[in-house]
A and B are shown apart, each in its own frame.
Chain A
Amino acid sequence: MKSNGVTGGGLPENVIMPMADIYETPDAFVLSMDMPGARKEEISLTLERGLLHVSAASGRPHVADATYLRREIRATGYRRAFTLGEGIDRSNVQATFEEGVLTVKLYKSAEKLPRDIQIH
């Protein structure tokens, strides 16, 4: 292995917290996270006791016999947890992964939705 800089291989795990955007629509919370290099099949999303856990391995290409002239991509994986408030419909969570961005849509429970009251 050549070594004029940093060489590949043997790096320890470096799980980072992905940056997230969250916005609220009238009927849902939409959460999206930057997870470049992750693969759809390797993303784990679990809902447990008021916490939404997200984790994934980053598919960072490891080139063992190459010489790294620059190495800035740190993540070997992603992990983050979000506290969920009341009023999330746990049975209705949708997730998509596109362009390295994971988007999770958490629908509000029916009783939390704004509704019109009829005046009799």
Chain B
Amino acid sequence: MMVRFERFPVVPGHDVFGLDRGIHEIFQALEGRSRLPFVPAGYPAADVTEEKESTVITLELPGVNKGELKITMADGLLTVSGQRKARALPENSRWVRNEVTTGSFSRSFEIGHPVNVGEIAAELKDGLLRIVLPKAEEARPREITVR
């Protein structure tokens, strides 16, 4: 079988900056010098932080409409699903370049503590979805007085 290697479509003036950095990062990771563990990112890309009173999940969802998004919490699993509609070309138009991924997505996160489900808040702004999951009272850190 013949294997065809496709060249990365670099057009002069394109990606003068991004590609280099990406390659640099791969080498750093191979040498074990990366500042981040080299874990393949899921889709959509997410940051999860644990704070004192809550866990915060931030997802990159550019071009996704609020109405096309579903967030559910069940059995300690938070699931974000939805779809990004493919762009419909106007009449008499043609694609020059089409890099943006569209379609359905679904991603689940295991939340390692009991959550105050009634207080979960989500906000979608500038293509970032931010979900705040407040810890249930019993999961919050507390000070214990020594008697």
Say yes or no: is B72 at the interface (Cβ < 8 Å to chain A): no
Q: Which residues of B contact A111 (CB under 8 A)?
A: none
Q: Which residues of A contact B41 (CB under 8 A)?
A: 72, 74
Q: Mark A49-81, 1 if CB is under 8 A from B, else 0.
A: 001000000011101011111111110000111
Q: Which residues of B contact A83 (CB under 8 A)?
A: 11-14
> B33 to nearest A CB, angstroms?
12
> A47 to nearest B CB, angstroms?
12
What residue of chain B has the Cβ atom nearest to residue A10's Cβ?
A: B35
Say yes or no: is B146 at the interface (Cβ < 8 Å to chain A): no
Whether B13 pairs with A17 at a CB distance below 8 angstroms is no
> A50 to nearest B CB, angstroms?
8
A79 CA to B20 CA, complexed, in Å: 13
Whether B47 pairs with A82 at a CB distance below 8 angstroms is no
Q: Mark B109-139, 1 if CB is under 8 A from A, else 0.
A: 0000000000000001011101000000000
Q: Of the candidates A14, A32, A81, A101, which one forms a contact with B21 in the assembled complex, judged by CB atoms under 8 Å apart?
A: A14
With A14-B21, A71-B47, A73-B45 already in contact, the answer to whether A34 and B128 are too (CB < 8 A) is: no
Total count of chain B residues near the partner, CB < 8 A: 51
A66 CA to B58 CA, complexed, in Å: 13
Say yes or no: is B5 at the interface (Cβ < 8 Å to chain A): no
Whether B127 pairs with A36 at a CB distance below 8 angstroms is yes
Whether B18 pairs with A80 at a CB distance below 8 angstroms is yes
Q: Which residues of A contact B51 (CB under 8 A)?
A: 63, 65-66
Q: How large is the interface on A (under 10, 10 to 19, 20 to 34, 35 or more residues)?
A: 35 or more
Interface members, chain A 15-40 (any B CB < 8 Å):
15-17, 19-26, 29, 32, 34-40
> A104 to nearest B CB, angstroms?
13
What residue of chain A has the Cβ atom nearest to residue B98's Cβ?
A: A21
Whether A69 pairs with B12 at a CB distance below 8 angstroms is no
Q: Of the candidates A12, A16, A100, which one forms a contact with B18 in the assembled complex, judged by CB atoms under 8 Å apart?
A: A16
A80 CA to B15 CA, complexed, in Å: 6
A-B pairs, 9 with minimum CB distance: A100-B127, A17-B18, A36-B127, A100-B62, A83-B13, A72-B41, A66-B49, A22-B96, A70-B48
> Which chain B residues have a beta carbon within 8 Å of chain A's beta carbons?
11-19, 21-22, 35-37, 39, 41-42, 45-51, 55-56, 58, 60-65, 87, 89-90, 92-101, 124, 126-128, 130
Task: Give 11 A-B contacts (CB < 8 Å), ordered by A residue.
Answer: A12-B35, A21-B95, A21-B100, A22-B95, A23-B90, A24-B93, A26-B92, A32-B100, A35-B62, A35-B127, A63-B51
